[in-house]
């Protein structure tokens, strides 16, 4: 167990040294294993309790001076830091493949997004500018929280870290970042670029598991906690922060539905169903995990899905022909297998199962299932694997809405129909933060759209002007006379 500020956080399976996704600590170091080969590719020291406390103290000491810099200056320094990260772009992409297994093309795309942040930073700066009202007699300014702890995920270990850190830093906070223990080397490389450019103490790094994360979120000098990860971890963080009413931004899990009416463009729908069920080996919080096809189009749609799924080859992420890498861990592979096996034994139809490489590695075949029933485990719990999961519905709008909403989650959804009015009606009734109409929302949403988790998929949110502003607090300055405020 780890002790922080009078409370304890138990490490699951602590006696065996196991952590999230079965990662192991040996001799005070995270053992980083390539999920494609089983080879140890690194050992990363875990931050001690004393080190965590010292890092938070350093962040607190640096925060006031950082906040006194202008918005424009903070934004310019962050742009410079992202350009610094670009110097190691190729190495960073390869590190992602080694740590969590995604194919190199996807890793390159992620890193490309991480380093090309100028437009993003400009939008965040704009969202933090003062708002002048009442002929200049009232001004709403933004005040930083102070020290913000950030727990980054393993599935997008470079870009997601920055999507949380940049808004916090633009707002005038300092940050203490804990990368996922699954991808600590990626997180370290991103933070090295920030720390090389930003003033000392503004951006800080700690490494470890939930014990270290617990020490961060419970520390009295941490004013806000931001995390992307599982709903179970999010609930622990929320409970831990409740006594001190820390501000929270939590992006959590999902079980995202895709509704396909018979009048949809079935080729487009099948293409998206496969691509966004299998992207990143299905390990995306907003993966398509439940597909509902209108019964009258079921047979045609399923044939199209199977044909498209056959082009998604499973293999080592460094092999050019691979489109699906290994799952992040043996634990995750076992979870996906459990969902699929349970569904098939319960009457689901196995439409397709791909080959996988022989030998070691956490590879799982691309799988297409049909005839799924709503009560099945695979329809209720996050699968997080390369599975295209198909059920049917009667074609009515009411059934589509009921099935889509039959989940404790509410992250994203998709609705496909050539009847635009019908698609909009159904979309508006789905309890999800973002709904793609004849599209996948993550692929087409502009930077200014908020990324919101309804229900169990989040608390607070971190994108769009409203999301970026959650990393600061508004303060109203009011007077009977016009006020002058420097907005630079």
For residue 4, the model assigns a pLDDT of 28
For residue 21, the model assigns a pLDDT of 84
Alpha-carbon Rg of the chain, whole angstroms?
Answer: 23
Instruction: Tell me which residue of 120, 216, 128, 200 sits closest to 166, measured CA to CA.
Output: 120
Residue numbers of the chain with a pLDDT score lower than 70: 1-19, 485-488
For residue 221, the model assigns a pLDDT of 98
For residue 7, the model assigns a pLDDT of 26
For residue 485, the model assigns a pLDDT of 60
- Please give the Cα distance from 51 to 143 (Å, whole number): 28
Model pLDDT for residues 178-213, shown as the tens digit of each residue = 999 999 999 999 999 999 999 999 999 999 999 999
For residue 14, the model assigns a pLDDT of 36
- Any catalytic annotation for residue 285? yes
Catalytic residue among 151, 285, 286, 414: 285
Ramachandran region, residue 359 (left: φ > 0; alpha: ψ -120 to 50; beta: rest): left
- Please give the Cα distance from 75 to 90 (Å, whole number): 25
Q: Which two tokens stand for residue 244?
A: 């001190």
- Please give the Cα distance from 58 to 367 (Å, whole number): 49
Q: Is the dihedral of CA 274, 308, 372, 358 positive or negative?
A: negative
Catalytic residue among 251, 289, 294, 302: 251
Angle formed at CA 141 by CA 137 and CA 147, multiple of 5 degrees: 160
- Any catalytic annotation for residue 281? no
């Amino acid at each position: 167990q780890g002790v922080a500020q009078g409370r304890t956080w138990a490490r699951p399976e602590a006696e065996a040294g196991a952590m999230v996704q079965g990662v192991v600590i040996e001799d005070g170091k995270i053992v980083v294993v390539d999920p494609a080969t089983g080879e140890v590719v690194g050992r990363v020291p875990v931050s001690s309790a004393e080190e965590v406390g010292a890092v938070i103290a350093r962040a607190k000491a640096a925060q006031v001076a950082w906040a006194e810099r202008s918005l424009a200056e903070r934004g310019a320094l962050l742009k410079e830091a992202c350009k610094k990260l670009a110097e190691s772009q190729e190495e960073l992409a390869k590190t992602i493949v080694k740590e969590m297994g995604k194919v190199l093309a996807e890793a390159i795309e992620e890193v490309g997004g991480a380093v090309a942040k100028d437009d993003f930073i400009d939008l965040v700066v704009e969202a933090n500018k003062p708002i002048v009202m009442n002929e200049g007699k009232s001004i709403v300014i933004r005040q930083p929280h102070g020290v913000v702890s950030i727990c980054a995920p393993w599935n997008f270990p470079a870009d997601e870290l920055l999507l949380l850190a940049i808004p916090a830093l633009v707002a005038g906070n300092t940050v203490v970042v804990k990368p996922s223990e699954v991808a600590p080397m990626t997180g370290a490389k991103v933070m090295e670029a920030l720390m090389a450019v930003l003033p000392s103490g503004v951006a800080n790094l700690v490494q470890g598991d939930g014990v270290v994360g617990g020490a961060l979120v419970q520390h009295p000098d941490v004013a806000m906690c931001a995390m992307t990860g599982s709903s179970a971890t999010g609930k622990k963080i929320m409970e831990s922060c409740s006594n001190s009413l820390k501000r929270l931004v939590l992006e959590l899990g999902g079980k995202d539905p895709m509704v396909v009416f018979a009048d949809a463009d079935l080729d487009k729908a099948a293409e998206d169903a496969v691509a966004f069920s299998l992207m990143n080996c299905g390990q995306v919080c907003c993966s398509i995990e439940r597909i509902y096809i209108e019964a009258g189009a079921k047979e045609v749609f399923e044939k199209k899905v199977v044909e498209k799924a056959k082009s998604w080859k499973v293999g080592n992420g460094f092999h050019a022909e691979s489109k699906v890498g290994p799952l992040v861990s043996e634990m995750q592979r076992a979870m996906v297998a459990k969902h699929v096996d349970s569904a098939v034994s319960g009457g689901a139809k196995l439409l397709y199962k791909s080959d996988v490489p022989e030998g070691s590695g956490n590879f799982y075949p691309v799988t297409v299932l049909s005839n799924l029933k709503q009560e099945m485990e695979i329809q209720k719990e996050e699968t997080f694997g390369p599975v295209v999961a198909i059920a049917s519905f009667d074609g009515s709008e009411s059934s589509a809405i009921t099935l889509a909403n039959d989940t404790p989650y509410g992250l994203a959804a998709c609705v496909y129909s050539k009847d635009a009015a019908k698609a909009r009606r159904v979309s508006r009734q789905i309890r999800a933060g973002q709904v793609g109409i004849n599209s996948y929302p993550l692929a087409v949403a502009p930077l200014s759209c908020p990324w919101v988790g309804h229900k169990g998929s989040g608390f607070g949110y971190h994108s769009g002007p409203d999301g970026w502003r959650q990393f600061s607090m508004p303060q109203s300055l009011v007077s009977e006379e016009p006020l002058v405020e420097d907005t630079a």
